[in-house]
């Protein structure tokens, strides 16, 4: 059997397969925070029973949405994180509701919360108190500055944009500065969606899973302290090491990469095209494709100079913008067929609609139609993980 056929056959019928976390009970106490919601949603996709705890007025995150658009009454930014969850509303100014929450904690496996450090402790429902009634409880606290340190008690709510700002990632994202003729858009640039929150939620779910593995060995729970800012900074690539080695800051380079060139985007007739041809042998091949042998002997060091990157980008763009993506692709394939050594990697930059309509995404179940309680339906991005025995899945979304 062909390998791809085997992989497809073993990924089929994911809705009828066992759930890896079906015996897990999780309390999602995130509030106006997609980091905690995302972490809980990941666990829910693997079968955990997730109970969302909301205030009497509901979680403000339910209103997070672009252009005021809702589906089933829920904001589109929050909707993906309601997958497979149940919800109740509790008033934590009421002792009766606090006592009820304590009873839930007494037999919960995991608690995820995003409140300011110490707030739950003052109400008698922090990990410090909950572990007395449930020693196997795994407690995950998510907050911009973490649970201790000089800024943990600043009183500021966790916010994705603050997480991005203090992670160091926002500074290096955006168009490179033109010192002689600066533009108003050449500034540190926010990542388009809540990337710091999603990074925090990803690391939180991973931390919870490792804590569960430890609990299986010892029977003991533990507290997990996650800062989305630190989580986002973890994927800052070479920034910290670069500063340590050079004493300098890795500055913004726009769509360029400080380590390799070309490894960026170029205008084509019908789209934006990505092209990677950064090592010397690949660069020579790309120059052959463009019929620009006059550039083929430019060294790696020359190509990595930010000023030279801009010059070469313009020269390459002259070639790409006169061709459609298909023409660019065929020119590269022709060089492959001619046996020219080296590898050039192209890609067409898809719009979200083009990505949604891509047959590969639908066949791999990356997009999922989900029915809503009001009789309508929506389409959500499915989990990016495939597994032959215990795959994650979307079963419903909580829009009530």
Quick: pLDDT tens for 57-72: 999 999 999 999 999 9
The closest of 198, 310, 225 to 262, measured between CA atoms, is 310
Mean pLDDT of 184-205: 94
Higher pLDDT, 263 or 243: 263
Residue 70 Rama label (left phi>0; alpha psi -120 to 50; beta):
beta
Per-residue pLDDT for 244 more than 90? Answer: no
The whole-number average pLDDT for the span 345-361 is 85
pLDDT score of 10:
83
Sort 310 into a burial class: Cβ within 10 Å, 0-12 / 13-18 / 19+: middle
Highest average pLDDT, of 169-173, 249-253, 365-369, comes from: 169-173
What is the reported pLDDT for 11?
83
Mean residue pLDDT of the chain comes to 94
Inter-residue contact 216 to 223 (CB < 8 Å): no
- Please check the confidence at residue 362 and state whether its pLDDT lies above 80: no
Exposure class string for 18-48: b at 16+ Cβ within 10 A, else e = ebbbeebebbbbbbbbbbbbbbbbbbbbbbb
* Count of other CB atoms within 10 angstroms of residue 66: 9
How many Cα atoms within 13 Å fall on the side-chain side of residue 16?
A: 4
Question: How many Å apart are CA 204 and CA 225, to the nearest integer?
Answer: 8
- Look at 237 and 298; give whichever has higher pLDDT: 298
Q: Is 200 helix (H, G, I), strand (E, B) or coil?
A: helix
Q: What is the pLDDT of residue 201?
A: 98
- Each domain of the chain, given as residue ranges in start order, spans 3-235+369-381, 263-267+272-348
Residue 238 has pLDDT above 80, yes or no: yes
CA angle, residues 245, 250, 255, in degrees to nearest 5 = 140
356 pLDDT higher than 80:
no
Q: Is 177 helix (H, G, I), strand (E, B) or coil?
A: coil
Cα separation of 29 and 31, whole Å?
Answer: 6
Mean pLDDT, residues 12-27:
92
Residue 163 has pLDDT above 90, yes or no: yes
Contact 30, 37 (CB under 8 A): yes
DSSP bridge partners of 139: 111, 223
Round to whole Å and give the CA distance between 145 and 165: 12
Confidence category of residue 349, pLDDT binned at 50, 70, 90 = very high
CA-angle at 368, arms to 365 and 370, nearest 5°: 155
The model's pLDDT over 198-228, given as tens digits with 9 standing for 90+, comes to 999 999 999 999 999 999 999 999 999 999 9
CA 282/CA 118 separation, integer angstroms: 56
Element (H, E) at 209: helix 195-218
Q: d(Cα 68, Cα 235) in Å, to the nearest integer?
A: 32
The yes-or-no verdict on residue 323 having pLDDT over 90 is yes
% of the chain beyond a pLDDT of 90:
80
Q: Angle at CA 265, nearest 5°, toward 259 and 336?
A: 85
The listed range with the strongest mean pLDDT (157-161, 370-374, 382-386) is 157-161
Neighbours of 331 (CB within 10 A): 18
Q: Per-residue pLDDT for 400 more than 80?
A: no
- Asked whether 176 and 165 are in contact (CB, 8 A), the reply is no
Distances (CA, A) of 311 to 4, 178, 314: 43, 13, 5
Nearest to 111 by CA among 41, 51, 180: 51
pLDDT score at 294 = 97
pLDDT at 272: 97
Q: Is 162 helix (H, G, I), strand (E, B) or coil?
A: helix
Local confidence band at 103 (pLDDT 50, 70, 90 cut-offs): very high
Q: How far apart are the C-alpha atoms of 116 and 155, rounded to whole Å?
A: 7
Q: Per DSSP, which regions of the chain are E strands? A: 25-29, 49-54, 70-71, 74-75, 85-89, 110-113, 138-142, 222-226, 263-267, 272-276, 345-348, 367-371, 377-381
Residue 269 predicted with pLDDT over 90: yes
pLDDT at 182 exceeding the cut of 90: no
Full-model pTM: 0.92
Please tell me the least confidently modeled range out of 43-52, 260-269, 284-293, 377-386: 377-386
Per residue in 81-91, pLDDT (tens digit) is 999 999 999 99
Other beta carbons less than 10 A from residue 261's beta carbon: 25
Q: How far apart are the first and last CA of the chain?
A: 46
Task: Give the pLDDT confidence score for residue 183 in this predicted structure.
Answer: 87
Homologous superfamily of 3-235+369-381: Crotonobetainyl-coa:carnitine coa-transferase; domain 1 (3.40.50.10540)
Q: Are strands 138-142 and 345-348 parallel, antiparallel or unpaired?
A: unpaired
CA torsion, points 257, 258, 259, 260, in degrees to nearest 10? 50
Q: Rounded CA gap, 359 and 383, in Å? A: 17
Could you count the other beta carbons within 10 Å of the beta carbon of residue 282? 18
Q: What is the pLDDT of residue 381?
A: 87
């Amino acid at each position: 059997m062909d390998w791809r056929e085997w992989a497809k056959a073993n990924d089929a019928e994911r809705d009828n397969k066992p759930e890896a976390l079906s015996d897990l009970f999780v309390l999602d106490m995130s509030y106006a925070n997609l980091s905690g919601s995302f972490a809980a949603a990941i666990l829910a996709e693997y079968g955990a029973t997730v109970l969302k705890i909301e205030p009497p007025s509901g979680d403000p995150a339910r209103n997070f949405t672009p252009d005021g658009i809702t589906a089933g009454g829920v904001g589109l930014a929050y909707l993906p994180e309601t997958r497979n969850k149940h919800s109740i509303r509790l008033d934590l100014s009421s002792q009766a509701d606090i006592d009820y929450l304590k009873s839930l904690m007494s037999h919960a496996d995991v608690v995820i919360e995003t409140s300011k450090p110490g707030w739950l402790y003052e109400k008698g429902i922090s990990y410090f108190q909950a572990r007395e009634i449930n020693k196997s409880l795994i407690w995950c606290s998510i907050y911009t500055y973490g649970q201790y340190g000089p800024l943990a008690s600043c009183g500021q709510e966790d916010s994705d944009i603050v997480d991005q700002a203090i992670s160091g990632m926002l500074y290096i994202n955006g168009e490179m500065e033109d010192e002689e003729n600066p533009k108003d858009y050449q500034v540190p640039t926010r990542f388009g969606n809540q990337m710091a929150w999603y990074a925090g939620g990803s690391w939180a779910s991973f931390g919870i899973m490792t804590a569960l593995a430890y609990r299986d060995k010892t029977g003991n729970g533990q507290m997990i302290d996650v800062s989305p800012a630190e989580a986002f900074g973890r994927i800052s690539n070479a920034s910290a090491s670069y500063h340590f080695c050079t004493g300098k800051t890795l500055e913004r380079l726009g769509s360029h990469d400080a380590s390799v060139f070309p490894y960026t985007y170029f205008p084509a007739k019908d789209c934006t095209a990505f092209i990677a041809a950064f090592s010397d042998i690949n660069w020579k091949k790309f120059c052959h494709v463009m019929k620009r042998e006059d550039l083929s002997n430019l060294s790696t060091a020359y190509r990595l100079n930010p000023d030279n990157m801009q010059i070469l980008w313009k020269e390459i763009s002259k070639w790409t913008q006169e061709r459609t993506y298909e023409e660019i692709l065929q020119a590269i394939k022709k060089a492959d067929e001619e046996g020219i050594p080296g590898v050039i990697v192209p890609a067409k930059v898809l719009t979200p609609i083009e990505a949604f309509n891509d047959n590969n995404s639908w066949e791999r179940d990356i997009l999922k139609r989900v029915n809503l309680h009001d009789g309508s339906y929506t389409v959500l991005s499915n989990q990016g993980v495939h597994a032959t025995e215990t795959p994650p899945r979307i079963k419903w979304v909580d829009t009530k």
